[in-house]
Amino acid sequence: MTYQNNITITPQLVADHGLKPDEFDKIVALIGRQPNYTELGIFSAMWNEHCSYKSSKKWLKTLPTSGPRVIQGPGENAGVVDIGDGQAIVFKMESHNHPSFIEPYQGAGTGMGGILRDVFTMGARPVAAMNALRFGSPDHEKTRHLVSGVVAGIGGYGNAFGVPTVGGEVEFDERYNGNILVNAFAAGLADTDKIFYSKAEGVGLPVVYLGAKTGRDGVGGATMASAEFGDDIEEKRPTVQVGDPFTEKRLLEACLELMATGAVIAIQDMGAAGLTCSAVEMGAKGDLGIELNLDMVPVRETAMTPYEMMLSESQERMLMVLHPEKEAEARAVFVKWELDFATVGKTTDDLRFRVMWQGEEVANLPIKELGDEAPEYDRPWMASAPPAPLAAGDVPQMDVADALLKLIGGHQSASRRWVYEQYDTLIQGNSLQRPGGDAGVIRVEGHETKGLAFSSDVTPRYCEADPYEGGKQAVAECWRNLTATGAEPLAATDNLNFGNPERPEIMGQLVGAIKGIGEACLALDFPIVSGNVSLYNETNGRGILPTPTIGGVGLLPDWSQMARIGFAAANQVILLVGAPANRGTHLGQSIYLRDLFGRKDGPAPHVDLAHERRTGDFVRKLIRSGVVTACHDLSDGGLGLGLAEMAVASGIGATVTDLTDQDPILQYFGEDQGRYLVTVNLDPQGDDLAALWKEAESLGIFAPWIGTTGGETLVLGAARPVAVAALKSAHEGWFPSYMDGKAA
Amino acid sequence: MKSAVIVFPGLNRDRDMIAALTKVSGTAPATVWHQDADIPDVDLIVIPGGFSYGDYLRCGAIAARSPIMDKVRAHAARGGKVLGVCNGFQILIEAGLLPGALMRNMSLKFVCREVKLEVVNADTDFTRGYTKGEVFRCPVAHHDGNFFADSDTIARLEGDGRVAFRYAEGTNPNGSINDIAGIFNEQKNVLGLMPHPENLIEAAHGGDDGRALFAGLLGKAA
């Protein structure tokens, strides 16, 4: 086989690799000559947006990433946070948007596979997963197909791998019609003294390839090959990767077994840009060169070229640097699990990334510069003007009971049971709260009382109206959801999904959202420890709604004190903690306006971070004192929907008294931030409740008694009582009926 | 009672099963890797759930042809007890230790939810922790749990008290014929069932309805 490595690099070929002319000039200046074909491929893989963060790096640097519990912030495969007792939680969220749109089952499945690998690469056994999914309008012709394929793909991979899905999001909006979002989160547990990193150490040590064989899948997925290569084009077809959860499960067990032998010096999973990215990262971080011999790479297709091997995105593969004296022991572990184990290279002291193939050197590049010298842009950006406030008195009216039934049975708020019942939510036997509540909760295996809470949040319509407030709100809502279980929020991961950053208004959204996220993380002591940026999410020049998904982790010292959203019993006092004097006031960007009146106007709700912090800390303290019998934070649909969800979760009704001098629509459907519904088992006239109010007042928190639980109906003031059974039937009905082909 | 859990590559509820056996009996079961030459001398062999060999062929078909299954067959032939849960049930059927077939769920989708089980025969070591007719909660999590057998086999299973559990109160999650959730072999020393009693044995699981199966089996008070 002949391989034309030293071809002329034309401007067209450079463009086909997604590199700009000035970026190519930079490459030539860096290496002092024209790159060959393999080298061009390697540069394109390392310098694309996905690997280099070239548009977002400047802004990502502003995020708070450290804290007393943070062991590892961004820059590794996943973030690592101390949870005490010598244990750490290792987590990250990552997008697989484009592949999931092209081939939903495999795209979503391999997204799951990638994020799980990020976690167990660090020595952690995955214990929880979440998925934040955003689809186009329910009435768009492709939506059902995509929902069905993505959900089956996530289930097919995660269920076989054996990790419980504990939470997530599913939303619909026409702005995702041509570009859905599949953001996968995974978290794993590890011992703090047994975390594994990608930084290689030591010269002349074996670089070992583990896991599945290399095929042509994913080659050129990011960097389309040139048509000028005629005969080659068939071989370089971009294909969506195909997932193999059985191999992933074996890879997990084999890696953890191998790590326990003490053989591993450094480890990196082969994700985007496969062998290239993992080898460069391990060498560059350790100030070492890497020499690879591609003849040793296990392949599953014949006649693969060096270019294809270096750019393949075949799944379920790992690269490690091992202690040479333990190589035999390491090999035995992989033989046991029937996985490939091949020494494919060695570390060197010359800081070069050298690739050998059939006795020929097909690439020789400076390893540090490949990663560190990637272009970094300060792209022009433009802040969008926030929408004008709604006119005074602009409160479109609808019967409160009718509105409630429509909202709880609408696409935004209907139960996601159809989705999460396709995921294994209880495997591992530690799931304390499964999807459907404010946050998923698991117990920490091996610990008597400790639990971990997980939540994934963002309100894209708020981010569109006001990226800064929307960014703040995404963090605050995640923090609030964790708090509502009684957990102390520890840290978060961000998955920033935006349109084309080369357009100043889109870049402005990214900048605004990051500013908001940073400010909220700082105010709430909720650092960002890992993340992923997905740009260019747009079709025909129209970007998606800006969607900075926040995945957060919280710690419960004693899960027996944890709160749930369902009303626990009748005759519980319902408090609206964190309420403004008028309970609810803000209708701009609410689902009441959007889904019942087709209006997307008004400003996003403001998040008062100091008030958010005080209120959350107060609610958490109440929960931990044992006085709280149920808790739910308010978000979409406001107070009305919050009460309805608590009733539906338990089958117990409630009666709430109207505030006489405020429009019921604002009271029940306003989406003011920083509010929790809390039920307590206290005498409304008693001293304990008086003391609670006194404390709240001293903290500047308004916590009015708005009603009492009990009965089989939900009574919102003067509105027609609604049977809890009717709410439940509306809530449960929409998703299955929609997926069966009935009207959206 | 001594027990052993067999692990094939791709199984993933082995840890759940080991935890349940350990918590109920106070002793950890022996763990047997599928390539081990022998199974230790135990009273009970358990094949847990998961996706052995990825279930890339018919569920359980590859594991059922593994050499270790000869040892399981010999154990069963000697009257030793065998429990297969979920993929373990599928493996026992593929290995010929139990009759019938487990087809794709009628919904064609994976389903993970809680169902109700009725105890049909409480006169066995597996079910003595329950009473006949008792209905208890139990989770399911599977893609291929739709039990089917020809009418003669069904008549024999029903007539000989070989139906152990039935999905109750309209909670059949997969379309199984006669709502069958678990069955015995002729000698009633082999039980296969789709639901996961091992995931409902303690307060953290939100109930302990599944505990009685292990308690009865391991000779411990429920």
Q: What is the pLDDT of residues A40-89, one digit of tens each?
A: 999 998 988 877 788 999 999 999 999 999 999 998 999 999 999 999 99
Report yes or no: B205 at the A interface, CB cutoff 8 Å. Answer: yes
CA atoms of A655 and A653, how far apart (whole Å): 7
Asked if residues B97 and B103 have their Cβ atoms less than 8 Å apart, the reply is: no
Is the pLDDT score of A206 beyond 70?
yes
List A17, A50, A586, A632, catalytic entry: A50
CA atoms of B72 and B76, how far apart (whole Å): 6
Split at pLDDT 50, 70, 90, the class of A3 is confident
Is the pLDDT score of A446 beyond 90?
no
Average pLDDT score over residue span A297-307: 93
**How high is the pLDDT of residue A174?**
96
Closest to A218 in 3D by CA, of A269, A179, A267, A271: A271
Chain segment A571-617, per-residue pLDDT in tens: 999 999 999 999 999 999 999 999 999 999 999 999 999 999 999 99
Report yes or no: B10 at the A interface, CB cutoff 8 Å. Answer: yes
Closest to A258 in 3D by CA, of A170, A318, A330: A330
Average pLDDT score over residue span A656-673: 96
* DSSP-derived pairing of the beta strands A165-172 and A264-269: unpaired
CA atoms of A488 and A25, how far apart (whole Å): 50
**How high is the pLDDT of residue A216?**
86
Is the pLDDT score of B107 beyond 90?
yes
| Residue in chain B lying closest to A427 (CA) | B13
Angle at B117 between CA B112 and CA B121, to 5 degrees: 140
Tokens of A102: 């092209």
Residue A184: CB partners within 8 Å, gap ≥ 6?
A93, A94, A95, A96, A108, A111, A112, A114, A115, A129, A130, A131, A154
B12 contact residues in A (CB cutoff 8 A): 160-162, 249, 427
**Average pLDDT score over chain B:** 96
Residue A120: CB partners within 8 Å, gap ≥ 6?
A126, A188, A251, A252, A255, A256
Of A162, A425, A432, the CB nearest to B112: A425
Cβ contact, residue pair B16, A244, below 8 Å: no
List A17, A96, A411, A586, catalytic entry: A96
CA atoms of A143 and A735, how far apart (whole Å): 12
Cβ contact, residue pair B51, A428, below 8 Å: no
Place of tokens 């994913």: A218
Is B131 exposed, middle or buried (CB count within 10 Å of its CB: 0-12, 13-18, 19+)? exposed
**How high is the pLDDT of residue A226?**
30
**Average pLDDT score over chain A:** 93
A425 contact residues in B (CB cutoff 8 A): 112
**How high is the pLDDT of residue A233?**
35
* DSSP-derived pairing of the beta strands B44-47 and B146-148: unpaired
**How high is the pLDDT of residue A195?**
97
Tokens of A182: 């599949």
Q: How many CA atoms lie within 13 A of B90 on its CB side?
A: 27
Tokens of B31: 């763990």
**How high is the pLDDT of residue A235?**
44
A245 contact residues in B (CB cutoff 8 A): 51, 54
Active site residue B196: yes
To the nearest 10 degrees (0 to 180), the angle between helices A245-260 and A143-161 is 40
CA atoms of B9 and B199, how far apart (whole Å): 21
Report yes or no: A421 at the B interface, CB cutoff 8 Å. Answer: yes
Cβ contact, residue pair A422, B111, below 8 Å: yes
3-state secondary structure of A328: helix
Cβ contact, residue pair A160, B54, below 8 Å: yes
**How high is the pLDDT of residue A706?**
97
CA atoms of B7 and B14, how far apart (whole Å): 7
List B75, B86, B138, B142, catalytic entry: B86
Residue A570: CB partners within 8 Å, gap ≥ 6?
A652, A709, A710, A711
Long-range contacts of B147-155 (CB under 8 A, 24+ apart): B147/B100, B147/B101, B147/B102, B147/B103, B147/B174, B147/B176, B147/B177, B147/B180, B147/B181, B147/B183, B147/B194, B148/B100, B148/B101, B148/B102, B148/B103, B148/B176, B148/B177, B149/B99, B149/B100, B149/B101, B149/B177, B153/B99, B153/B100, B154/B178
Tokens of A577: 């903690």
Specify the DSSP class assigned to residue A76.
B
Classify residue A48 as left (phi > 0), alpha (psi -120 to 50) or beta: beta
Q: How distant is the Cα of B171 from the closest Cα of chain A, in angstroms?
A: 14
- How far from the centroid of its chain's Cα atoms is residue A45's Cα? 23
Is the pLDDT score of A227 beyond 50?
no
**How high is the pLDDT of residue A239?**
60
**How high is the pLDDT of residue A51?**
78
- How far from the centroid of its chain's Cα atoms is residue A145's Cα? 22
Split at pLDDT 50, 70, 90, the class of A306 is very high
Closest to A196 in 3D by CA, of A239, A152, A258, A240: A258
**How high is the pLDDT of residue A272?**
77
CA atoms of A465 and A386, how far apart (whole Å): 6
Asked if residues A167 and A439 have their Cβ atoms less than 8 Å apart, the reply is: yes
**How high is the pLDDT of residue A238?**
55
Split at pLDDT 50, 70, 90, the class of A643 is very high
3-state secondary structure of A31: helix
Cβ contact, residue pair A160, B205, below 8 Å: no
Report yes or no: A448 at the B interface, CB cutoff 8 Å. Answer: no
CA atoms of A471 and A698, how far apart (whole Å): 29
Asked if residues A71 and A83 have their Cβ atoms less than 8 Å apart, the reply is: no
B51 contact residues in A (CB cutoff 8 A): 159-160, 245-246, 249
* Residue A410 CB coordination number (10 Å): 21
The amino acid at residue A617 is: D
CA atoms of A619 and A484, how far apart (whole Å): 7
Q: How distant is the Cα of A550 from the closest Cα of chain B, in angstroms?
A: 26
- Enumerate residues 490 to 549 of chain A having a beta carbon within 8 A of any beta carbon in chain B: none
A160 contact residues in B (CB cutoff 8 A): 10, 12, 50-51, 54-55
Percentage, residues of chain B above pLDDT 70 = 99
The amino acid at residue A374 is: A
Report yes or no: A152 at the B interface, CB cutoff 8 Å. Answer: yes
Chain segment A407-432, per-residue pLDDT in tens: 999 999 999 999 999 999 999 999 99
Is the pLDDT score of B51 beyond 80?
yes
A427 contact residues in B (CB cutoff 8 A): 12-13, 16, 141, 199
Average pLDDT score over residue span A27-49: 92
**How high is the pLDDT of residue A234?**
42
Cβ contact, residue pair A422, B109, below 8 Å: yes
- How far from the centroid of its chain's Cα atoms is residue B130's Cα? 16
**How high is the pLDDT of residue A224?**
39
Chain segment B111-128, per-residue pLDDT in tens: 999 999 999 999 999 999
* DSSP-derived pairing of the beta strands A713-716 and A654-656: parallel
The amino acid at residue A271 is: G
Is the pLDDT score of A221 beyond 70?
no
Chain segment A474-504, per-residue pLDDT in tens: 999 999 999 999 999 999 999 999 999 999 9
Of B12, B113, B141, the CB nearest to A249: B12
* Residue B150 CB coordination number (10 Å): 12
Q: How distant is the Cα of B12 from the closest Cα of chain A, in angstroms?
A: 5
Report yes or no: B28 at the A interface, CB cutoff 8 Å. Answer: no
Report yes or no: B81 at the A interface, CB cutoff 8 Å. Answer: no
| Residue in chain A lying closest to B19 (CA) | A429
Burial A382-405 (b: 16+ CB within 10 A, else e): ebbebbeebeeeebeeeebbebbb
Q: How distant is the Cα of A400 from the closest Cα of chain B, in angstroms?
A: 33
Closest to A163 in 3D by CA, of A481, A493, A538, A425: A425
Active site residue B59: no
B204 contact residues in A (CB cutoff 8 A): 429-430, 432, 443, 559
Tokens of A178: 């041509």
Chain segment A147-201, per-residue pLDDT in tens: 999 999 999 999 999 999 999 999 999 999 999 999 999 999 999 999 999 999 9
Active site residue B34: no
Report yes or no: A679 at the B interface, CB cutoff 8 Å. Answer: no
Q: How many residue pairs from chains A and B have C-beta atoms closer than 8 A?
A: 82
CA atoms of A178 and A542, how far apart (whole Å): 9
Average pLDDT score over residue span A317-328: 93
Of B19, B111, B204, the CB nearest to A421: B111
Report yes or no: A137 at the B interface, CB cutoff 8 Å. Answer: no
| Residue in chain A lying closest to B204 (CA) | A432
B54 contact residues in A (CB cutoff 8 A): 160, 244-247
